[in-house]
Structure formats: structure tokens, C-alpha cells
A and B are shown apart, each in its own frame.
Chain A
Amino acid sequence: MSKNIEFVKFDKVDKSYDGKVLVVKDLNLDIAEGEFITMLGPSGSGKTTCLMMLAGFETPTNGEIYLDSNPISNIPPHKRGIGMVFQNYALFPHMTVYENLAFPLKVRKIQKDEIDKKVDKALSMVSLSGFESRMPAQLSGGQQQRVAVARALVFDPAVVLMDEPLGALDKNLRESMQYEIKHIHENIGVTVVYVTHDQGEALTMSNRIAVFNDGKVQQLSSPDKLYEEPVNSFVAEFIGENNTFGGEVIDISKGVCKVKLNNGEILANPISVNAKGDKTTVSIRPERALINPKDKMDNNQKGKIEEVIYHGDHTRLRINLLGNKEFILKVPNSSNELDLKLGNEINVGWNSQDARALDPK
């Protein structure tokens, strides 16, 4: 059986709450069956609205959403068969864990012994067997989270939506839950649409990430591509750390361009500039710029160390480079022979390939 690559399809979807502002603008998004896709974006970017439209709690102002090729805009939420994990878990506080999990099965009029089996299976999947008779309030945050996940999966939905489900957990728990959810997804192959504003979470868990800003998908690609090859300066800025230079293209040829900054010139990789005179923002990942590079690099600049911050496994340097006082470098802890003192002048080099000339900010 071939997998439907348009299992969930947003087709030219617009959404406005007040008739004045579009929260989601002309959204086109295809989600393949069995895929783990993350909608990532700052708050107010429209990602949760998209999720709510898919769940059926909001209706698109314009356009249509298809689930397995069927338009679903007119289907009420309870008939869509989409599981959902809510931000605050939304466990029913007056029901035990068992009753919470049995709820979607009971409303589907499934036999009692069948329900027992499914609840058992779902609970063992999230390693909470034996917690059936507990009330949600007697569980820790992480356990509640797992019950919520189990409840969203127990009735074998085709799609599971997760709306910032790990937002309320502490850092360590969040990380372990990320892996847990990822493994559950890998094991049962359900389609997951995940919403978060935490880029680390998005990068670890997803097959593909849709970066939202201003009601639009800025980039939709795999986590590595998103990080390595952002297509615009918003994505570059939003995902990971980023050093930028604003300037103007003064020379452009195949694969390389020269950008004139306020005080200096650098070589860059033209991504969204096509002609001389274009304004651009050049983006370089901190780990791609090296101090005193051994190999030859086509950008070499001198900078003054403004700040040294010790981070354990690496040291962060803030350098004044070509007028940018916020240029960040990450120095791995292994290279301790370097003389990283405040005020020292150092050589910084990077390849023009890693300096992406994107749209101006």
C-alpha cells in the first residue's frame, strides 16, 4: 500500500477572526501519511490556528482542508476522528486514568473487553501500566502528559495533533518526553502534526518542519535543511544562532557574490539576491566561523574580543567584527591552546559557501 503524500492537505486556506486581519494567509501545506510534521513559529504566527482548523474547532475563512482526499470543513470535530493532545493536557479531572482513556472508546460504543485491551495497550505504550485507577491530579506533569498522549492514540486515529504538549514540563522531562513521543510515532506510524515554538523540540522530533511567521509558511523542509539552508532571514534568525551582516551586493557571479558592508567587504553565497545593487542580509552560523583557520578560507577578517562566556563544553566569544559588535563564535573546549582574552585581536575565517546572502531584514 503506497502512502498518500497528500494525506492532510491545506488548500489555499485563509483565516481571519475579525474580518480585518488575516491570521493565516493563503496556506498550502501537504502532509504525508505517517509523517511527523511540526509547525514552528513565534506566538501569533498562526500555527495554532492551523491546528485548530484541522481539529475542527475553527473554520477556515476561505479555502478547504482535505483529510485523505475528503474535504472536512463541514465535518464537526467529533466526527473527524483526529486525536489531539492539548497544551495543558486537558485530562478530565473527575475521571480516573482508565476512564480518561476509555472515554473515546465508550463514545464509539466499543465492547467493554475490547476497551480494556486497548486501554492496556495504550498505557503500556507510554509505560504507565498499573496507573489505571489514579486520578489525573495524583500524577506528575510528565505522567499526565503521557496519559494525554495515550488518550489521543487509544482510538487509533489517522492523525494526531499536538498543541505545544511539552510546554508545561521542566527542561529535562521535556527532553525525555520528546524522545518518547518520537519513538511512539516511529512504532505506530501515525501521522502527527505537532505545534511548538521551541525550535530545539522541532529539530529533534520532526520529519519535516513548517516554519510559520505572519500567517505564512516561511519554509517547509527537513530539520537539517532548515538549519543548514534557511531560505530567508526570518528562518535563519529563528532557527538556531545566527550572525548577520547587512549590506549591498556589488558583484555577483555563479555561486558567489561580493557584499559591501559599512566597513568592509565579504564574499557570500547568493540565495535570494540576483543582481548587483540588491540589499541583503548575510547570515553565518556561529560554528561555521573559525578562529585562526588552518585550511584556507575565502573570508578572513580581524576582530576584537568583546566578551568571553564560559559554557562548559564550549566557550562563547562575542567579537567586534566588521562593525558588528554582536558577532558570536563558539569555541569547543578542546582547543584550549587559544589565547582567548578580553580585548585580544583574533583572526576569524569562514567559507563564502556558509555565508548565505538572504533577503534584507
Chain B
Amino acid sequence: MSSETKQILTTDGIPLEISLKKAERKNKIKAFLLVAPLLLFLIITYIFPIGEMFTRSIDDKMITNMLPKTFKSMETWDGKELPPEEVFASFLSDFKILVDKKEHGKLAQRLNKEKNGFTTITKKLFRQVKRNKIDETQSIKEQIMKVHKRWRNLEYWQAIKRTAPPYTSAKYLKAMDMYLNEDNKITQVSEDRRIHRILWLRTVEVAFFVTVFCFLMGYPIAHLLATLPMKYSNLLMICVLLPFWTSLLVRTASWMILLQQQGVVNDFFVMIGLVADDNRPEMMYNKVGTYVAMTQILLPFMVLPLYSVMKTISPSLMRAGKSLGGTPFVAFWKVYFPLTIPGIGAGCLLVFILAIGYYITPALVGGASGTLISNQIAYHMKSTLDWSFASAMGLMLLSGVLVIYWIYNKLVGVDNIKLG
């Protein structure tokens, strides 16, 4: 029988396939309409902002728009010696427009970021322009070079040329404590100014250890939850979930009360004679505080996936392992543990990803040695208003998480994740 080669028709003579599609189209549209609000929501709140973040982080159009003629004329300049008269002329004409629009300050600011010293010489040039001191019938190059000796310096003109492309990777390099030098080479900043790399490493370190601590503490709890009789396990579950029902800020604040030098934990240590009263250990405003508070706050995210996986493991498997001659440890290690790996994967991934972007807790209990990259991002968002730099760091964080997800997928397989 070669029924699949022959087209099957319905009683009306329409091919079955077409008829089926027609019949199912309505359902498909209905299903799509159901998810459409969510899709829209995701696009608006997730895809757009990330795209916006990305463009902002590499955007350098402002100066490109400020000096259009200059950059045009610079295209033919090789940058080996001072630019020709033409470049100076177009720079002056761009600059005059900026002075009219009162935007020359912005230009100075942007150029100063590229190379120190631009603020002064732009100001000087501004004064000359304002007083109409520059005679456009004479050589503009000569007149500008007379304004300040830096205008005669090749490096400054090279710096201007470097700002020509509308896009820049400078923010990303800055986040890695690097910059593009005069020769367009990626260079490290001087050692005493490298702060971001330390923060990145610390963030990864904190996230890693918080994940490890959460795993070490969450695994037994989850096991207990999964094996206890219902009435006890419900109570324990409430204890695990209780932190979820308390505001994050309140929890962090209570850790501050507990951990400070005159706090409850220290008082207790002094009381039982573990430490001397005048030698109370600092448990807050350093990494210890960050570890303790973050582990407690993120613990439920480890326990819940583990619990949901352990709940499905039949107790008879452990019994089988033992009855077949495995010691309790062998039965656990060879039978129980491998079956919980999907839960471990999900829990660790969840905790790590949450920890790597954690903000409030390190900000409050972390102190100087406990701040993380997220605090740096917040600092640039709120204080320096360098949003493009904050965006760049945020995107780096996001891509870091994606890389971890990818590695995890290679190692464990995302299909093996079980969140509940």
C-alpha cells in the first residue's frame, strides 16, 4: 500500500492537509492571541531596553554630529603630521556653529575624555572666536596654532580623529580597565587606576561562593523536605519560604543588626567567651557580611528546585541500592546523587545568576571591600550619570550570564534543568 503517495481527500474533495490546516487555524490564532500580551510585554520591557542599552553603550554620535565637516576633511589626512589648512578651516567652521548653539562646552567635555587638556584649549579658542579675533582671510591653521601651543601638538589632532566613528568600544574597554591609546592599540590603564577588573573578579567570586554555600546548606534541607512526613515537611517548607515573604530590605537590615560589631552575633561571641570584648571581629562592611546575607537570601532559590527533583525520586531506589549491597554512602553517591543533578544544575544556575547581579545587599552590608559590579553600575547610573558606561557594564554582565548558561548547557544540558 502506498497510501502516503496518494493524496487523501475529504468528502468535499478538499485535500485533507489543507482541510486540517483550515480547521486548526482558528485554534492557532486563539492560542497566539492568548500569549500576545505577554509577548508584547516582553518586547517592550525586555528586548527594547536591552537594545537601547546596547546602542547607548556604543553610541558616540554626538561628536560625530558636532564636527561633521572636520571629520569629512580629516578622511584624507594620514595623521602622521599636523593636518592641512583645510582641516583647520572646517574645524573652525564647525566650532563656530557650536559656539552659536552654545554647545562648545559639550565638545570640550567629550574631547577631554579622549585626551586630557582639551578643556583649556577649547576655552581659549572659544574666547578668540567670540571676540572675532580670527580672520578668515588669513591662514586659519596659523591662527589656531597661535591660540595655544597644544593646538600645535599632533597628539591632540589625532585624538580628534579618533572620535570620528559614530560608534566606540571605549566604554567596554574602560569596564575592563583598558583604553585605546594614540596608536589605536588596546592598552591597560596604569596599575593604580585598575578598579573594574577587581570588581568583576570579586563579583564572580562572591557569586561562586554564595552558590557553593547555598548548595551545601540547601541540599540537606531539600532532602529533609522531600523525605519528611507531610505535616513536618509543610512546616519546614514555611520556614524555607519565610524569607520570601519578608521584604528584601528588611532582611538585609536585620542582618546588619545581627552582624555589626556591637550586634547580636558579636555580643553572643563575647558572652560565650569566644572573642574578647575589645577585639570584636568585623563581620559587616566586608565580604563576610555579603556572603552571609546573600546566602540566606538566595537559599530558597536553591532549595526549591532541589526539592522538586528530590520529591520525584522514589525512596525505594535508595533501598534497592542498599539491598543490592551498597553501603548507605555508595547508595547515596551512585544512586541518589546522580538523580538530583538536574535540581542541582537548576538551583546553582539560578542562584549564580541572581548573585552575580545582586545589588541591594552588597550595597548595604558589603562596605568598600564587599561592593560588586552591580553597585558600580548603580553608581554610574545615579552619581556620574555616565549611562553609556553603566549600559556597557550591564551588557557585559548579561553576556557573562549567557556565557555561563551556554557552558552549563554544554556540561549538563538545559533539558536536564528542572525548576519545579
Contacts and interface: CB of A to CB of B under 8 A. Distances in A.
Interface stretch (B183-191, B220-228, B329-337): B329-337
B311 interface: no
B339 A78 contact: no
A57 interface: yes
Most-contacted residue by chain B among A84, A92, A152, A155 (CB, 10 A): A92
Interface stretch (A103-111, A252-260, A304-312): A103-111
Interface in A150-202: 151-152, 155, 161
B2 to A, nearest CB: 31
Interface residues of B, number: 19
B317 interface: yes
A332 interface: no
Given A86-B316, A86-B319, A107-B330, A93 B339 contact: yes
Contacts of A81: 325
A77 B319 contact: yes
Interface residues of A, number: 28
Contacts of B338: 94
Nearest to B318: A90
Most-contacted residue by chain B among A76, A84, A152 (CB, 10 A): A84
A78 B320 contact: no
A83 B331 CA distance: 15
Contact of B325 (A92, A108, A161): A108
Contact of A151 (B316, B319, B324, B334): B324
A151 B335 CA distance: 15
B323 interface: yes
A67 to B, nearest CB: 14
Given A93-B339, A94-B338, A107-B330, A78 B323 contact: yes
A80 B319 CA distance: 13
A88 B316 contact: yes
A125 interface: no
Most-contacted residue by chain A among B323, B334, B338 (CB, 10 A): B323
Contact of A103 (B314, B319, B326, B328): B326
Contact of A78 (B316, B331, B334): B331
30 contacts: A55-B319, A55-B323, A57-B322, A76-B322, A77-B322, A77-B323, A78-B322, A78-B325, A78-B328, A78-B330, A80-B323, A81-B325, A84-B319, A84-B323, A88-B316, A90-B314, A90-B317, A92-B317, A92-B320, A94-B338, A94-B339, A103-B321, A103-B324, A103-B326, A104-B325, A107-B325, A107-B326, A107-B330, A155-B325, A161-B323
Interface of A: 55-57, 76-84, 86-88, 90-94, 103-104, 107-108, 151-152, 155, 161
Given A56-B322, A79-B325, A90-B314, 17 more contacts: A57-B323, A76-B322, A77-B323, A78-B322, A78-B324, A78-B325, A78-B328, A78-B331, A81-B325, A83-B323, A84-B323, A86-B316, A90-B317, A90-B320, A92-B320, A103-B326, A161-B323
